[in-house]
Amino acid sequence: MNALTTMMLLPILGSLLIAVIPSDQVLRIKQAALAVTLLVAVTGVLTWFNFDSADTAFQFVQSVEWIPSFGINYAVGVDGLSLVLILMSVLLTPIVVLAGWNESEGGRWSAKVFYILILVLETMMIGVFAATDVFLFYVIFEAMLIPVYFLIGGYGSGDRAAAAVKFLLYSLFGGLLMLASIIGLYVISGANGGHTFDIAKLSEMHNYMSSTTQNLLFLGFFIAFAIKAPLWPLHTWLPGAAASGTPGTSVLLLGVLDKVGTFGMIRFCLTLFPDASRTFTPVIITLAVISIIYGAFLAIGATDIKRLIAYTSISHFGFITMGIFAMTTQGHSGSTLYMFNHGFSTAALFIVAGWMASRRGSSKIADFGGLQRVTPVMAWSFFIAGMSSLALPGLSSFVSEFLVLVGTFTRYPVAAVIATFGIVLAALYILIPVQKALHGPTTPGNENLPDLNIREKVAIAPVMAVIIALGFYPAPLLNVINPTSAHILEVQGFTDPLPSDSAGK
Amino acid sequence: MEFIAPSLNYAQLAPMLIVLAGALIGVLIEAFAPRASRFSSQLFITLFALVASLAALFQVRNQSSVDAAMGSVAFDGAGVLFQASILVIAILAIFLIADQENFTALAASVPGSDEEREAVQADLRVTEVFPLTLFAIAGMLLFPVASDLITLFVALEMLSLPLYLMAGLSRRRRLMSQEAALKYFLLGAFASAFFLLGIAYLYGYSGSITLSGIQESVVGGAGNDVFLLLGVAFISVGLLFKVGAVPFHAWSPDVYQGAPTAITGFMAAATKVAAFGAILRIFYVSFANAEWQWRPAMVIIAIITMVFGSVVAITQRDVKRMLAYSSIAHAGFLLAGVIALSKSGLEASIFYLFAYGVATVGAFGIVTLVRDSSGEVGDLNRWSGLGKRSPLLASTFALFLLAFAGIPLTSGFIGKFSIFSAAYESGSTSILIAGVLSSAIAAFFYIRVIVLMFFKDSVEDGTSVIIPSALTTITITVSAAVTLILGIYPAPLIDFIATTATFIR
Amino acid sequence: MNPYNYLYLAALLFTIGAVGVVVRRNAIVVFMCIELMLNAANLTLVTFSRINGTLDGQVVAFFTMVVAACEVVVGLAIIVTIYRSRRSASVDDASLLKR
Amino acid sequence: MTTSTSLGYLIALPLAGSIILLLAGRKADKWGHLLATALSASSFGLGLYQLSQMLRLEPEERAFTQKLFSWISVGTFNVDAGLLLDQLSICFVLLITGVGTLIHIYSISYMSHDRDRRRFFAYLNLFIAAMLLLVLGDSYLNLYVGWEGVGLASYLLIGFWNQKPAYATASKKAFVMNRIGDMGLSFAIMIAFATLGTVTFAGVKEASESASTATLTGIGIMLLIAAAGKSAQFPLQAWLGDAMAGPTPVSALIHAATMVTAGVYLITRSNFIFDAAPTAQLLVVIVGAVTLIFGALIGTAKDDIKKALAASTMSQIGYMTLAAGLGPAGYAIAIMHLLTHGFFKAGMFLGAGSVMHGMKDQVNMRRYGALGKFMPITFVTFGLGYLAIIGVPPFAGFYSKDLIIETAFNAGGVKGILLGSMTLFGAILTAFYMTRVMVLTFTSPERWEEDQHPHESPILMWLPMVVLAIGSVTTGYLFTRGDALVHWLEPVFGEHGEHTELLPHKVVSALAITAVIIGASIALVKYQFSEVDAEAPNKVSILTRLARKDLLQDSFNESVFMRPGQVLTRWLVKGDDNVVDGTVRLVGRTALGAGAELRRTQTGFARSYSALILIGALVLIAGIWVITQ
């Protein structure tokens, strides 16, 4: 049986299993969820091992007719790009389950519903990256909003309903624009060789479009992805959603769902509309740079730890987008690796922040103080996660961030230079909360917060391991990523700029 | 002049004749059967008639002929599909209607009078509603297959007149119900006057009253274009009134709200199918070659209708009114199928009509279940917290709403996709864009209801969900199932439509 | 004489009827205006039947009368009921349903 | 080569130490400090072994690189985790591990009463590892890793007592200002890759021969910025003073002997770039010159013994930078001063620590006095360091500083005279403020607060001080005997051609010594032979007042960067809510408003509906008419 399909089926079956467990056996339900997600993670890792990184074509492909008269297939397959993201998703999910062991309490509905939603979401997360049929991708892209919507609105904190609605409406709006573009593609494909949604076939279609059409269709896709990723100025839904959701939800939201945006930019915007991509590159690079600096400043100004993390993500997504549209191998590989690393460093930050908030009963930075004395392990976890977020050399995100910067510099030096100022701001937006929350005298209300327990340590340990290991030895992922990015750029007809000086000589 | 005995193809007319027969028997029952046995016998007769008619239709599903009744009825694939949809929707609706709680005890009695009270105590029932429904259904079956202007007019009145009466039969808030009946009747008659004048001018233009005859003269270009113009315009008024397109929509919110919910559901779903069937036939068969004359106007009307319906629906506080405005918006979407003026447009419209009709019946079915001591609760604010009290019902309603909003994995999405792609394929980009934007607006109020039901705490004001009768349960379950199945695996139906749907001239 | 004049007359009658529907309050009168419109349409049909030299128009006219008769039945029933409940036949009084 | 494998261990040992100590937690409190010290010492041992290996070989064969594994490889951007051991890096290796080990030993006793001593040693080990990576990395990117690694270690150690808010702030300040420098380093790397296509030292060196001057100048300036950040050179010097918040051993190791000299290492390591980019080189000189005066001036006014020493460090590194900016003639000398300074400044910091140890952590020198007779060893060792730094022959500082002054004069032309006189002036100031420190602390009459019972520190503390003192006495002579160090480093820096002799060696020495005498005697008059009041006097010259305020460096940064930054942040936060999100909300409100308006058309009056239909019909006809015509 096809590896990807199996990976997608497992969580669904798991959710059915959970559905039959009586609601009052919460522990059983949690264990089941954990077991299933772990199983999926294992399958994911196996897929990674069986993946032939030399081959740039889609692998583990499977295609089944779905709606033949519209030329729609259930078609899945992975290349280096999607494999890395799927790997990230399936690794993060069990961690989220374990870390947020008690998140389901205090929700509007039972733990049962919570974990069913999580598992359904996992299936969709895998599918959205694995889909090689644009229609299938769109369906999952839209459908996965629903579980997240209920996860935020049903189990979140604060003004969760409003946040959930804002998130949903924003995303739906983008989705509908994309739908318009997809219809456009569909019609054009119909006029040129029969209706199809096969990404490979559709990537030929740009030859049959007027540049205006191509630009419009491109925008339809790009705006949808820019909302997801979130790119300035379409980011305002994120802080609310991230702050209101449970830590676990926010991890999946920032770590995985938002990656669909940047993933889509590569997979669809570039592949389907190469000329339009070139046309819009200057604008997009500008927006990306703005996001980097803007997000960093807002993070510095943030008073709520969760919102702060959300804003840092806006900055990071700026980096990713910039790397993508720099159109250099370093930029592309860097961005892809960045997606993976950001998944883990944000996960670490959010998980720990969630623990801090749930212990203290508040996520206001001002309410914390001197945690390093009280809860050293938790403080350290937060600190390391923060260091990874500010891309400290030796930690994973440094490799990707530096690749993005170098890759951008060779083609767009100005953008890269401005973006680099982001690393100074990063130092500020991480160290300010570190000082306020972890350092200084232990402030009232924090004296006897409990430190991490075994479960929490077990949950956070692998994240830390990945962050550090990939910092020193990113090769395992880069080997998978490089051929794909090289291939994509090759198809786009881009070649890396040669060293200017030695080129002359 | 000698008189030619009419030759009728009874097999092809059977579906309609059976329903009519059922109606007549119903009348006889009203006249002679003892009160006690009326309800059961009526219900039986009605269901029997409908099922039998469906069976009869199935027998002749592959036939097609222009002279089923001396050229007054065109029997073809499209006709079969329209009739089948109407019958299915009708059967579902009958189950709702069978729940007599919705209907007044004695229609003739003055609201609040002793007469009424006695009638209620005597537990009288307006079983007349069954034959009336059957008459209406007969009219609806005839409307989309009528192929000359007389039949068209007769069918129109035949489906309208019973509906006028049924609108006035509500058990509670009878003044409103009667007002609904009055408005519906006066405006309906007013509109049909325009319709008739349109017929007159078309006759004047072509000298023929058959659609094919008109088409010939349109092709031939003989005759006075002024008459054609007036004819098209006036006939459109009549038809657009029935589907509730702006600016001929004004009746529908009031009538939808005033009429007994079961009837509203029936009328909203079935009438739309019948009326759109007729519109499609007339415009595809007769006016196709004159598109340059009416199409731009139709495009404008479609756009206005979508936008108006969606925008006004946002501000609605009553669930039935909200659904009314949403149905206006959907009328706009459906007009896109008319404008497409292509086979794919026809197929898309048929699929959309069926999917929308089923979902609508289901949705109104749920509305009948939310009640307090004084009957149904229309006020949306009092629906808040429904998800807590009866999750199943709330989820089902949410499913229907998502289908209306066109979220993937529901029938609504497939419908929306196919109809918009058909419209865009035939070159009307404006429709596509307007459709996408108004869908975005529409999403807002559908989601608002979901938020109310799931994320708001319930108000203890006696609002409760009654245990649905078996029949109602069937209706809702079936509708939900169909909505979901058509969303996940629509291929069979789409293929069937694709192979069947054709208009003969 | 020129049959087209009948068309103009019919159009005039139809307009009178339509305007009547809009301006008159009494439900009965409104209904009568509608009847007027129907008959205007009939006149048009008959005229065209004359112009085109086919009988179809007249046949339609007959059908129309029948249908109109049915409309009267239903219409009066509704109007009478509402009159009995409201003690007024003014269409403006019946305005509970709005917005 | 057979020994190459051990290079990795050089770094791995202390790194392992820090990881073990951090993970083991309180369990390791018993033995943590011993393990850390042992590991640091063993690195030192390895270093010595490497040295012996090198000595066996011909000078040009001594350097070798070792590839551990391929670190980052994307397209043409290939960076190995590679280590480069050559004559330059071995000096640093020995300095770092040697002084490092001594300070480990010192800290065992100095921190013995701190509940978190284990954590402290973990940080120290971490620092040793990072610093070794910095000097051993074979490419700018590897260096970058060590570069930020030491930044992190310094941040952790400055903020070691971060429950004191002021200390936490100090550590943050240090990290951020370092990051500004790091930015420069990343720019340098980006330019290097974009223009030369490589980021390894060897590669850049090779490519630089064919590279355009503009490119090299760009890289050079960026490297200078990086160096300024790390080495507290003007204009990024402001953090060093506050960094004294850290425990004194830290100040000795990181903020005197090793880390802060990384900038000098970077510049000398990139000699091939600066040699080819005169403009950049000139800037280096200027920065060095400015800083050496700047630091010295601050030093004259500080009453806090550690801050005074910190200022002096700043100034001394100014000397090194200046020397490094003087090209082939200067590199080796810069390194020489760096090494000697490593010894005597570390020694003096430890001395200061020992004084604080005996004086209940009192740091205000105006509260010291006459401590010489209470803590003789400290007095002597500190004194030797003092003699070394002010440049009294035959102590180490004399040789190195003397050479710098000489080279400065010999830079030629006005430049030479200018630089020479500045270095001389610096020497006067140095002599002045160091004498001031010496006098106020040890020899002048006592001005203690009550219940002070000064006493000598335990052996674990004074032993390292003694060793360093010996170093600060001997090293200068050793290095210069037959230009030993210069020749040793020649394979790295290349021969430096004969330069114009503006002044003969003797004259320069004479001048230098005079400078020392002048400075020292002023200080003696002012502090030894006249009453010093325990409270800092307020009626002082504007210059002193400025110097006390660190020549307004902080107020400058605050008013120019911090405040505007905060304002900008506040604006953006407001703007994000009101403008960006406001626009979105506005769209929503517009839709709602439109809905509410259109709703009015639904009057409820049947007649208005029919009117609507009538109008609609007419409009439709008109519309179709217009279209068809």
Same domain, D571 and D474: no
Q: Where are the beta strands (DSSP E) in D118-188?
A: none
The counts of H helices and E strands in chain C are 3, 0
Q: Is residue B498 within 8 angstroms of chain A, CB to CB?
A: yes
Report pLDDT for D615.
93
The verdict on residue D34 lying in a domain is no
> Do D177 and D290 fall within a single domain?
yes
Question: Is pLDDT of D559 > 50?
Answer: yes
Answer whether A113's CB lies under 8 Å from A121's CB: no
C-beta neighbour count of B277 within 10 angstroms: 26
D residues 5-34 closer than 8 Å to A (CB): 22, 25
> D61-88, pLDDT tens digit by residue?
888 888 888 898 888 888 898 999 888 9
3-state secondary structure D490-507: HHHHCCCCCCCCCCCHHH
**Which chain A residues are within 8 Å of B407, Cβ to Cβ?**
142-143, 146, 172
Distance from the B435 Cα atom to the nearest Cα atom in chain D, whole angstroms: 16
Six-digit token pair at A74?
């259930």
Q: Which residues contact D583 (CB under 8 A, 6 or more apart)?
A: A233
Are C85 and B209 an interchain contact pair (Cβ–Cβ within 8 Å)? no
Count how many Cα atoms sit within 13 Å of the Cα of residue D134 in the half-sphere of its side chain. 30
From chain D, the residues in CB contact with C97 under 8 A are 604
A413–D194 CB contact, under 8 Å: yes
Alpha carbons A228 and A255: distance in angstroms, whole number: 12
CB contact under 8 A, D598 and B183: no
B181 touches chain C (CB under 8 A): yes
Q: Chains meeting C at 3+ CB pairs closer than 8 A?
A: B, D
Residue C87 buriedness (CB in 10 A; 0-12 / 13-18 / 19+): exposed
D548, D560: one domain: no
The minimum CA-CA distance between D626 and chain C, rounded to whole Å, is 21
Which phi-psi region, left, alpha or beta, contains residue A60 (left: φ > 0; alpha: ψ -120 to 50)?
left
What residues have CB less than 8 Å from A1, skipping those under 6 apart?
none
With CA atoms as reference, report the closest residue to B45 among B110, B94, B114. Answer: B94
Shortest distance, CA A154 to any CA of chain B (angstroms): 7
**Residue D3 scores a pLDDT above 60:** no
Q: Does A478 touch chain D (CB under 8 A)?
A: yes
Taking Cα atoms as reference points, which of B392, B396, B395, B367 lies closest to residue B382? B367
- Answer yes or no: are the C-beta atoms of A272 and A363 closer than 8 Å: no
Indicate whether D457 and D567 sit together in one domain: no
The conformation of residue D533, written as its DSSP 8-state character, comes to: -
For residue A132, what is the DSSP state? -
- d(CA D218, CA D204) in angstroms, rounded, equals 14
Which chain D residue lies closest to C92 (C-alpha atoms)? Answer: D605
Q: Give the DSSP per-residue string, D270-299.
A: THHHHHH-HHHHHHHHHHHHHHHHHHHHHH
In sequence order, what are the residues at sequence separation of 6 or more whose Cβ sits closer than 8 angstroms to the Cβ of residue D410? D329, D416, D499, D500, D501, D502, D503
Q: Measured between CB atoms, which of A294, A442, A501 is closest to D195?
A: A501
Confidence of residue D498 (pLDDT cuts 50, 70, 90): low
Residues of D in Cβ contact (< 8 Å) with A80: none
Asked whether the beta carbons of residue B421 and residue A108 sit closer than 8 angstroms, the reply is no
Which candidate in D605, D612, D620 is best for mutational testing of the C interface (most C CBs within 10 A)? Answer: D605
pLDDT of residue A505: 41
Burial class (CB in 10 A: 0-12, 13-18, 19+), B466: middle
pLDDT at residue number B33: 87
User: Nearest-CA neighbor of B309 among D614, D591, D423, A328?
Assistant: D591
The interface pTM score, or ipTM, of the predicted complex is 0.89
Strands D64-74, A59-67: pairing is unpaired
Which domain range does residue D361 map to? 162-552
Helix axes B149-167, B272-281, angle to 10 degrees: 160
Chains B+A touching (3+ CB pairs under 8 Å): yes
Looking at the fold, whether D260 and D397 belong to one and the same domain comes out as yes
- Same domain? For D569 and D513 the reply is no
C29 Cβ contact partners less than 8 Å away, ≥ 6 residues apart: C20
Q: Is A327 helix (H, G, I), strand (E, B) or coil?
A: coil
**D504, D528, D552 - which closes a domain:** D552
Identify whether residues D608 and D469 lie together within a single domain. no
Measure A298 CA to nearest chain D CA, in Å: 6
Which residues of B lie closer than 8 Å to D, measured between beta carbons?
182-183, 186-187, 190-191, 194, 225, 229-230, 232-234, 236-237, 241, 247-248, 250-251, 253-254, 292-294, 296-297, 300-301, 308, 311-315, 441, 444
Asked if D235 and D173 count as a contact pair (C-beta separation under 8 A), the reply is no
Touching chains, D (3+ CB pairs < 8 A): A, B, C
The closest CB to that of B407, out of A66, A69, A142, belongs to A142
| CB-CB contact of D318 with D260 (8 Å) | no
Q: What does the pLDDT average to over C71-80?
A: 92
Interface of D with A in 70-129 (CB under 8 A): 70-77, 81
Q: Where are the alpha helices (DSSP H) in D439-541?
A: 459-480, 484-493, 505-523
| Residue B228 touches chain C, beta carbons under 8 Å | no
Please, is A275 exposed, middle or buried when counting C-beta atoms within 10 Å of its C-beta (0-12, 13-18, 19+)? middle
Phi, psi at D84, each rounded to 5°: -125, 120
How many domains does the structure of chain D reveal?
2
For residue C90, give the amino acid letter: S
Are A36 and A154 within 8 A, CB to CB?
A: no
Using CA atoms, how far apart are residues A400 and A439, in angstroms rounded to an integer?
Answer: 29
The C-alpha atoms of residue B168 and residue B174 are separated, in whole angstroms, by: 7
Please list every residue in chain A whose beta carbon sits closer than 8 Å to the beta carbon of residue B409.
139, 143
CA distance D629 to D623: 10
If asked whether residues D471 and D486 sit together in one domain, one would say yes
Mean pLDDT of D115-134: 92
Residue D433 pLDDT > 70: yes
- The domain boundary, picked from D527, D552, D577, lies at D552
The pLDDT of residue B458 is 77
Kindly write down the DSSP assignment for every residue of B284-349, as one continuous string.
IIISGGGHHHHHHHHHHHHHHHHHHHHHHHHT--BHHHHHHHHHHHHHHHHHHHHHH-SHHHHHHH
Give domain status of residue D152, yes or no: no
- The residue count of chain D comes to 629
Mean pLDDT of chain D: 87
Bridging pattern class, strands B464-465 and B375-376 = unpaired
CA distances in angstroms from B173 to B102, B115, B129, B178, B374, listed in the order given: 11, 16, 18, 9, 9
The answer on D499 and D622 residing in a single domain is no
Chain D residue numbers touching C28 (CB-CB < 8 A): none
Question: What phi and psi, each to the nearest 5 degrees, are found at residue D139?
Answer: -140, 160
Residues of chain B found within 8 Å of residue C30, distances taken between Cβ atoms: 186
Of the partner residues D144, D179, D197, the one whose CB lies closest to the CB of residue A427: D179
Q: Do chains A and D touch (3 or more CB pairs under 8 A)?
A: yes
Q: Are residues D504 and D620 in the same domain?
A: no
Tens-binned pLDDT, residue by residue, of chain A (505 aa): 788 999 999 999 999 999 898 888 888 999 999 999 999 999 999 999 999 888 888 889 999 999 888 889 999 999 999 999 999 999 999 999 998 888 888 778 888 889 999 999 999 999 999 999 999 999 999 999 999 999 998 888 888 888 888 899 889 999 999 999 999 999 999 888 888 899 888 888 888 888 899 999 999 999 999 999 889 889 989 998 988 888 889 999 998 999 999 999 999 999 899 999 999 999 999 999 999 999 999 999 999 999 999 999 999 999 999 999 999 999 999 999 999 999 999 999 999 999 998 888 888 888 888 888 889 899 999 999 999 999 999 899 999 999 999 999 999 999 999 999 999 999 999 999 999 888 888 888 888 888 888 899 999 999 999 999 999 999 999 999 999 999 988 888 888 888 877 644 4
C78 with B182: Cβ contact below 8 A: yes
Q: Tell if the CB–CB gap between D77 and A413 is shorter than 8 Å.
A: no
pLDDT band at D569 (very low <50, low <70, confident <90, very high): confident
Relative to beta strand A59-67, strand B464-465 is: unpaired
Q: Is B212 on the interface with C (CB under 8 A)?
A: no
Between CA B57 and CA B70 the distance in angstroms is 19
| D174 and D294 housed in the same domain | yes
pLDDT score recorded for residue D218: 92
Quick one: closest CA in D to B188, which residue? D610
Residue finishing a domain among D552, D573, D600: D552
* D72: phi then psi, degrees, rounded to nearest 5: -120, 130
Q: Please, are residues B192 and B202 in contact by the beta-carbon 8 Å criterion?
A: no
Domain assignment present for residue D402? The answer is yes
**Distance (Å, whole) CA D511 – CA D44:** 39
The whole-model pTM stands at: 0.91
The predicted structure's pLDDT at residue D123: 93
List the pLDDT tens digit at each of the 505 positions of chain B.
Answer: 567 777 888 888 999 999 999 999 999 998 898 888 888 999 999 999 999 999 999 988 888 887 777 788 888 889 999 999 999 999 999 999 988 777 877 777 888 788 888 888 877 778 889 999 999 999 999 999 998 899 999 999 999 999 999 998 888 888 889 999 999 999 999 999 999 999 999 999 988 889 888 888 888 877 788 898 899 999 999 999 999 998 899 999 999 999 999 999 999 999 999 999 999 999 998 888 877 778 888 999 999 999 999 999 998 889 999 999 999 999 999 999 999 888 999 999 999 999 999 999 999 999 988 888 778 888 888 888 888 888 899 999 999 999 999 999 999 999 999 999 999 988 888 999 999 999 999 988 898 899 888 888 877 776 777 888 888 899 999 999 999 999 999 999 999 999 888 887 6
Q: What is the dihedral of CA D125, D127, D129, D130, to 10 degrees?
A: 160
Cβ distance D602 to B248 less than 8 Å, yes or no, reads no
| B residues 131-150 closer than 8 Å to C (CB) | 149-150
Chains that touch A (3 or more CB pairs under 8 A): B, D
Judge if D435 and D500 occupy the same domain: yes
Q: What is the pLDDT of residue A75?
A: 92
Q: Distance, in angstroms, between A141 CA and closest chain B CA?
A: 9
> Does residue D167 sit within a domain?
yes
Calculate the alpha carbon distances from B391 to B162, B399, B476, D12, D375 in Å. 37, 12, 15, 60, 82
Contact C74 B164 (CB under 8 A): yes
- Asked if B443 has any chain A CB less than 8 Å from its own CB, the reply is yes
Say if residue D1's pLDDT is above 80.
no
Task: Say if the Cβ atoms of D592 and B314 lie within 8 Å.
Answer: yes
Cβ–Cβ under 8 Å, residues B211 and B143: no
- Specify the DSSP class assigned to residue B381: G
**Helix or strand or coil: residue B465?**
strand
D569 within some domain = yes
Position D65 in a domain: no
Residues of chain D with C-beta less than 8 angstroms from the C-beta of C91:
605-607
Put simply, whether C56 touches B (Cβ < 8 Å) is yes
CB contacts under 8 A, A 267-326 vs D, are 294, 297-298, 300-302
Amino acid at B381: N
Cα–Cα distance for residue pair D18/D413, rounded to 1 Å? 51
Q: Which of residues 5-24 of C touch B (CB under 8 A)?
A: 7, 14, 17-18, 21
Collapse the DSSP code of A12 into the 3-class scheme (helix H, G, I; strand E, B; otherwise coil) and give the result. helix
**D338 assigned to some structural domain:** yes
Asked whether the beta carbons of residue D186 and residue A301 sit closer than 8 angstroms, the reply is no
Q: Which of residues 568-597 of D touch B (CB under 8 A)?
A: 588, 591-592, 594-596
Q: How confident is the model at residue D224 (pLDDT cuts 50, 70, 90)?
A: very high
Crossing angle of helices D278-301 and D213-230, rounded to 10°:
20
